[in-house]
Amino acid sequence: MWMIEIPPFVPFFIGGLIALLTSGVLRNFIMVSIPIISALHLWMVPDGIHLQFAFLEYQLQPYRVDKLSLMFGYVFHIAALIAIIYSLHVRDTMQQVAAMLYAGSGLGAVFAGDLLTLFVFWECLAFTSVFLIWARRTQRAQVAGMRYLIIQVLSGVILLAGALFYAAENGTLEFGYIGLDGIAGWLIFIAFGIKCAFPMAHNWLTDAYPEATVTGTVFLSAFTTKVAVYALARAYPGTELLVYIGAAMTCFPIFFAVIENDLRRVLAYSLINQVGFMVVGIGIGTALAINGAVSHAFNDVIFKGLLFMSMGAVLHMTGRINGSDLGGLYKTMPKTTVLCIVGAASISAFPLFSGFVSKSMVMSAAIEEGYDWIWLMLLFASAGVFHHAGIKIPYFAFFAHDSGLKANDPPNNMLVAMGIAAGLCIAIGIYPETLYSLLPYDTGYNPYDATHVLAQTQLLFFSALAFVWLNLRGKYPPELRSTNLDFDWVYRRIFPTVLQASFTSVWKLDKAIRQALLSKLNQGLTFFSNKNNRYSSLLSRNYPAGSMVLWVLVVLATYLFLSFIS
C-alpha cells in the first residue's frame, strides 16, 4: 500500500513532461509503461478518500475512489495503453505530450471528489485535446479545433458558474448527487450535457473528431464523452429527463450516419448513438440500468476505439477516408478488415461480442420500468447502429466496389493495438463475469438466456437482410461527396450571416450619423466664417483677430502704465 495518495493523473502528467524531453525508443518505452504501472497501482488502491485539504472554507477532495470512478479509471487506463501503442510510430512531440496530458486529465476528472477539482480537469480536457485536432495541421482542422475549443470551454465556464451556485446553496463543493432542482442543478446539467453531446449540443463532436489526426481521434473517442457520462451517472442518476434526451441521442444520429460520406464522421455519429444508450440507462436510474450504462461506457471505449483505429489505419495507409473513394481493401488489408469486423460486431451487439453484454442491460431496464416507447426507440437504434456502423463501415471501406487502391496493412504497432482491443471485445463478450464483478451494483444479470440471444440475433440478421435487399434493388443511398447540414449550420452559417448583416447595418447607420454631423459642423463653420467676413475693421480683416489685437494692446498699455506708477 505504498503511495496510495498519488492520484492516477500524476503519472500521466509526469509522462507528458518526459515525452516532451525525450524521443525515440526511450520515449516509446516510457509512454507504454506509464499506463501499465499506473493501472497496477490503481488496482491496489482501496475505496475511499485518499487526498483532501481545505481551500478557503471548502473541503477539496482531488482523489476519491469508489466503484463508479474505479470502473472509468480502469477503462481509461486500457484506452490510454491501446491508443499509445497505436500511436508509437508517430514522430510528433506535440501530439504525444498532448495525448498523455489528455489521458491524465480524464483520469483526474473521474477521481475528482469535488466540483472545483472537476472543473479544473474539465478545462484541462478541453485544452489538451484540442492539440490532437490541431496536430493535423490543415486549415479545416484548425477552424474545427477552434470551434471545438470554444464549445468545450463554454461548457467549463457553465460548470464553474453552476459549482459556485451549488456552493452558495449547499455550503459544500462535494461532488455527489445533485439533481435538477435549483439553478445550480440546471447549470451543471447543461455543462455536462454539452460535453455529453446532447442533441443540438452535439456538433462539436461530429465536427472536430473526424478532423483530428489518425491517432488523435482514437484518444478523443475514449475520454471526453465518457467523463461526461461518468459525471451524469454520479450527479443525475434517475433523472427522467435523461431518458428522453438519451433516446433522442440514440435515434437521430443514425439518419445522419447513413448519408455521411466521411467514414470517421459516421463513427462520430455512432459515438453519439452509443452515448445515448448510456444516458438512457442513467436516466432510468435503477441498479440494472446504471450497471448497463457504466458497463456500456466501458465496452464502448474499447470497441469504438477499435473502429476508429481501423478507419485510422485506412486513412493512414491510403490517405483517404471518404466512402466514395474507398472499397475493395479487404484484398490488401486483410488483418485490418478482420479487426474492423470484430469492432463492428461488438458495437452492433452480436452475441459473444462485448456490446451485447452491456447494451442488453439498458434495454431490459427500460422495459422493466415501463418505458415502452423508449424501448422501441432503443430497439430501432440497435438495428440502426448495426446498419451504419456494423455494415456500412466495413462494407464501404473493405468491400463494395474495388476502388483500385493498393494499400498494405498498417505498421505492426497499429495492428497490435487493434489486436488488443479486438481481443478484449471478444473476451468480455464471451466471459462478461469479470466485467460484471467490477460494476457498482450486484444484480445477478445474465445476458445469455435464449430469449435475449434469439431476439437480438433475429433483429440483427433481418437488419442485414434489409441492407442486402435495399442494395440489390439499388435503393441504398450511394456514397456521395457531400457535406450534410446538421445543427452546426446554425452557428456556422446563420449566426455569421446574421451577425454580418447586423454589423453592416450598424456600420451604415454609424456612417450616416457621422456624415450628418460633419455636414452640420461644416455648415456652422461656414456660417461663422461668413459672419466674420463682414467685420472688416482697422486692425485686421476679420473680427476675432482684430479684437485680439485690441485686447493685447489694452493689456500692454495697462502693464506700461503700472510699471510707470510703481
Partner 1 sequence: MEDKKQSVDSKKHIFDNPKNVKRLLYFLYTSCAVLLIFDFVIHRHVMHSWENLWGFYPLYGFVGCVVLVIVATWMRTFLMRAEDYYDSEGQDLGNINNKNEKSEQGEKQSGDDHVDD
Hey, which residues between 378 and 397 contact partner 1 (CB under 8 A)?
379-380, 383-384, 387, 390
**Could you give the CA distance from residue 110 to residue 106 in angstroms, rounded to a whole number?**
7
- Beta carbon of residue 151, minimum distance to partner 1 (angstroms, whole number): 15
- Specify whether the CB–CB gap between 131 and 95 falls below 8 A: yes
- Beta carbon of residue 488, minimum distance to partner 1 (angstroms, whole number): 9
Which residue stretch of 89-97, 158-166, 448-456, 554-562 sits at the interface with partner 1 (rule: CB under 8 A)? Answer: 448-456
- Specify whether the CB–CB gap between 163 and 188 falls below 8 A: yes
Among 469, 491, 495, 527, binds partner 1 (CB under 8 A): 469
In Å, how far are 289, 375, 378, 438, 442 from 368, measured between CA atoms?
10, 10, 14, 23, 17
- Specify whether the CB–CB gap between 296 and 274 falls below 8 A: yes
- Residues within window 125-164 making contact with partner 1, judged by CB under 8 A: 139-140, 142-143
- Beta carbon of residue 451, minimum distance to partner 1 (angstroms, whole number): 4
Which residue stretch of 27-35, 148-156, 510-518, 536-544 sits at the interface with partner 1 (rule: CB under 8 A)? Answer: 510-518
Which residue stretch of 24-32, 45-53, 228-236, 473-481 sits at the interface with partner 1 (rule: CB under 8 A)? Answer: 473-481
DSSP string, 19-84: HHH--HHHHHHHHHHHHHHHHHHHHHPPSEEEEEEEETTEEEEEEEE-HHHHHHHHHHHHHHHHHH
Identify the CA nearest to 387 among candidates 266, 481, 293: 266
- Beta carbon of residue 354, minimum distance to partner 1 (angstroms, whole number): 14
**Could you give the CA distance from residue 373 to residue 367 in angstroms, rounded to a whole number?**
9
46 binds partner 1 (CB under 8 A): no
558 binds partner 1 (CB under 8 A): no
- Specify whether the CB–CB gap between 126 and 23 falls below 8 A: no
Cβ proximity to partner 1, 169 vs 368, nearer residue: 368
Place of cell 469486423: 341
- Beta carbon of residue 520, minimum distance to partner 1 (angstroms, whole number): 11
Among 480, 513, 555, 557, binds partner 1 (CB under 8 A): 480
468 binds partner 1 (CB under 8 A): yes
- Specify whether the CB–CB gap between 267 and 321 falls below 8 A: no
- Residues within window 255-284 making contact with partner 1, judged by CB under 8 A: 255-256, 258-259, 261
Instruction: Compose the 59-88 pattern: x for residues touching partner 1 by CB under 8 A, - for all others.
Output: ------------------------------
The b/e string for 380-419 (b: 16+ C-beta within 10 A; e otherwise) is ebbbbbbbbbbbbbbbbbbbbeebebebebbeebbbebbb
Among 137, 481, 520, 531, binds partner 1 (CB under 8 A): 481
Side-chain-facing half-sphere of 494: CA atoms under 13 Å: 7
Place of cell 442518476: 237
Among 1, 25, 56, 450, binds partner 1 (CB under 8 A): 450
- Specify whether the CB–CB gap between 104 and 12 falls below 8 A: yes
Cβ proximity to partner 1, 156 vs 384, nearer residue: 384
165 binds partner 1 (CB under 8 A): no
212 binds partner 1 (CB under 8 A): no
- Residues within window 313-372 making contact with partner 1, judged by CB under 8 A: 330-331, 334, 337-338, 341-342, 344-345, 350, 364, 367-368, 372
